Amino acid sequence: MKDKFGREIDYLRISVTDRCDLRCVYCLPQNADFCGAALGADELAEICGAAAGAGITKVKITGGEPLLRKDIIHIIRQIKQTEGIKSVTLTTNGVLAAKYAKALLEAGINSVNVSLDTLDRSKYQKITGKDCLHAVTEGIKALKGCGIDVRINTVLQYKDDFLPLISFAEKIGVDIRFIELMPIGCGAGFKPLLNTELKSMLGEAYKLSFKGNGPAVYYKGRGIKIGFISPISRTFCDSCNRIRLTSDGYLKSCLCYEDGIYIKDIIYDREKLAAAFAKVIESKPKEHCFSDKSKITEKRGMNKIGG
Ligand code: SAM
């Protein structure tokens, strides 16, 4: 389905829980209050059926930390089997990735993003509040070892971690993408490292660039792709194709505005649900307002919205 600016909206991001086992400083406050898993597996499948009817073909499972849900494999399998949904992907902090790698593959996952901001153990603990870097790197290797299409997503906190992360990605043969920090939730209190600055640190070997299907611009690394997603330094709203479902059952059209519709109570009313999808897609704003933080109306944290 096209929005009023002619953009084809075919991608739904679902936060399946606002709970997380990490406390990344720019994402989740220490004293966060949680609603947990507001929507059950069958409700999520029903919603995805309606989403497919509205033209959604790709679903990203996110959170909070989606692998904390005991029924996560069941959720993925059901959405994957939904008519019209061609791709189901997952983003995870990777802590439990090794445990779930095989089951994810069997459930039909199309790809997995693992969030990793540093390879330094003490910095990892400082950023996330937990000493589990090893579990994450092993998780990435386990996913790759299973044959899953896996890539690393980095919201870089320390400039000197940039090249080591690229070397690590090259060594294990996994693409990596650098995402600029956005002023949403706790992120509003942090100054983003801009990708323009990071790109200038890439050596001669990394000159070739090309645009991917999504918002990333890619450089060719040694056997891998190095992507830059730059919502701050290079707006890509004109090609935005996504809407979001928050962990509390709220369908919304843009990361930074709170506009949307609670669909929790109309899940089994196909007509109303279809109308909600149509309205949210139709009302999608032209662009985000990160350059003027006073215009951001979304109060939810990234764990509820889904990153
Ligand atoms: N726990 C899962 C994970 O780590 O991928 C899924 C949820 S997490 C909110 C999804 C992604 O959002 C992570 O890569 C995280 O680094 C990113 N994120 C959180 N807050 C952000 C912000 N303010 N700006 C940009 N990315 C952010």
Q: Where are the domains of the chain?
A: 11-305
Q: What is the CATH number of domain 11-305?
A: 3.20.20.70
**Over 80: is that where the pLDDT of 46 sits?**
yes
Confidence of residue 210 (pLDDT cuts 50, 70, 90): confident
Provide the token pair at 90. Answer: 């997952």
**Cβ of residue 303 lying under 6 Å from some atom of ligand 1:** yes
CA 28 – ligand 1 centroid, Å:
9
DSSP for residue 193 = P
Beta strands in the chain (DSSP E): 11-15, 58-62, 87-92, 111-115, 150-154, 175-179, 209-211, 217-220, 225-229, 242-245, 250-252, 260-262
Enter the pTM of the model.
0.96
Identify the pLDDT of residue 236.
86
Identify the pLDDT of residue 8.
96
Q: What interhelical angle do 133-145 and 97-107 show, nearest 10?
A: 30
**Cβ of residue 93 lying under 6 Å from some atom of ligand 1:** yes
Identify the pLDDT of residue 267.
97
Nearest protein CA to atom 20 of ligand 1, as residue: 27
The CA-atom distances, in angstroms, between 184 and each of 24, 45, 106, 258, 295 are 13, 28, 35, 11, 12
Nearest protein CA to atom 11 of ligand 1, as residue: 307
Of the candidate ranges 7-21, 157-171, 177-191, 286-300, the one whose mean pLDDT is the lowest: 286-300
Ligand 1 probe mutation, 18, 59, 91, most atoms within 8 A of CB: 91
- Side chain identity, residue 40: G
CB 136 within 8 A of CB 97: yes
**Over 80: is that where the pLDDT of 248 sits?**
yes
Q: What percent of the chain has pLDDT over 70?
A: 99
CA 114 – ligand 1 centroid, Å:
10
> What is the C-alpha to C-alpha distance for residues 117 and 187, in angstroms, rounded to an integer?
14
The per-residue pLDDT for range 58-111, each reduced to its tens digit, is 999 999 999 999 999 999 999 999 999 999 999 999 999 999 999 999 999 999
Identify the pLDDT of residue 211.
77
State the closest ligand 1 atom to the C-alpha of 20, by its place in the atom list counted from 1: 1
State the closest ligand 1 atom to the C-alpha of 182, by its place in the atom list counted from 1: 24
> What is the C-alpha to C-alpha distance for residues 263 and 181, in angstroms, rounded to an integer?
29
